[in-house]
Amino acid sequence: MSVADVVKQDSRARDEEDGNIAPSTNYLVAACLVSVQVVVATMADETFYRILFVSLYALFFIVRGYYRFVKPKLAEPEKAEKERKPFGKAEAAISCVILGSFGSIILYLLDLPWFAWTQIPGYPETVRWVGVLVVLADIPLLAWIHRTLGKQYSPCLRIKESHSLITSGPYARVRHPMYTVLTGFSLGMSLVTANLLIICFAIMLIILFPFVARKEEQMLLQEFGDEYREYMKRTGRFFPKVSRNKKDESQEHSIGSE
């Protein structure tokens, strides 16, 4: 007989002796019910989602911060970088959308009464949790992408002195996996908030990614020429290429000839 069996037998014997099997079970059931009620009540409160939102952002910044600030410091000192390329016509729009997005996030977190109109009434809880799942799936993907891109990464469009073309890992089939993941992240986070303004800014940001990607491809084509042209033929822009269609081909030609 195992120790666990002895303990079980002993406590059952004591319970039977005291005649309190039913009451102790009742207490347990009551405690569970109260806990469930507390969790449900907290979940219905926007504060819970604000805390969840901040926690998810913190996870994102840990990964992003590590690859952007900590890892480069641990590596060899970076050689001088070539000049940053502007985002072109989308530059002002990108700055406005980023500012607007962060502004509305701060107002949402501050829970100001005059900002309450931006909360969507009757917003389904399941949509918030879909957002959470998308963000949680995105974070390890972001780490993988950063690891693969290594020192080639830059928050803006830039060719570094010893820049090499990355075509492995997530880059083997997709040219802009980071933008795909950031799209999922922005949308997922906005869905968690149920805030109309944050969702609108996330959509605007998503609309701008193709412009940035196009500009980036022009820059990489200038730098790597035929190597990048070949790479474009076998990869998709934001998702793996399933089949070559005429639209993709004509897009590649138009960028290649710019």
Minimal distance, residue 48 CB to ligand SAH, in Å? 32
Is residue 202 within 8 A of residue 196, CB to CB? The reply is no
Is residue 143 within 8 A of residue 62, CB to CB? The reply is no
Please tell me the distance from the alpha carbon of residue 113 to that of residue 92, in angstroms, as a whole number: 31
Of residues 131-190, those binding ligand SAH (CB under 6 A)? 145, 152-154, 157-159, 165-166, 171, 176-179
Nearer to ligand SAH, 119 or 218 (CB): 218
Task: Count the neighbouring beta carbons within 10 Å of the beta carbon of residue 255.
Answer: 19
Of residues 225-244, those binding ligand SAH (CB under 6 A)? none
Minimal distance, residue 159 CB to ligand SAH, in Å? 5
Nearer to ligand SAH, 14 or 82 (CB): 82
Q: What contacts 52, CB < 8 A, 6 or more positions away?
A: 132, 192
Q: Does 68 bind ligand SAH (CB under 6 A)?
A: no
Please tell me the distance from the alpha carbon of residue 255 to that of residue 5, in angstroms, as a whole number: 73
85 forms beta bridges with: 157
| CA 248 centroid distance within chain | 27
Nearer to ligand SAH, 14 or 84 (CB): 84
Residues forming the site for ligand SAH (CB under 6 A): 145, 152-154, 157-159, 165-166, 171, 176-179, 216, 220
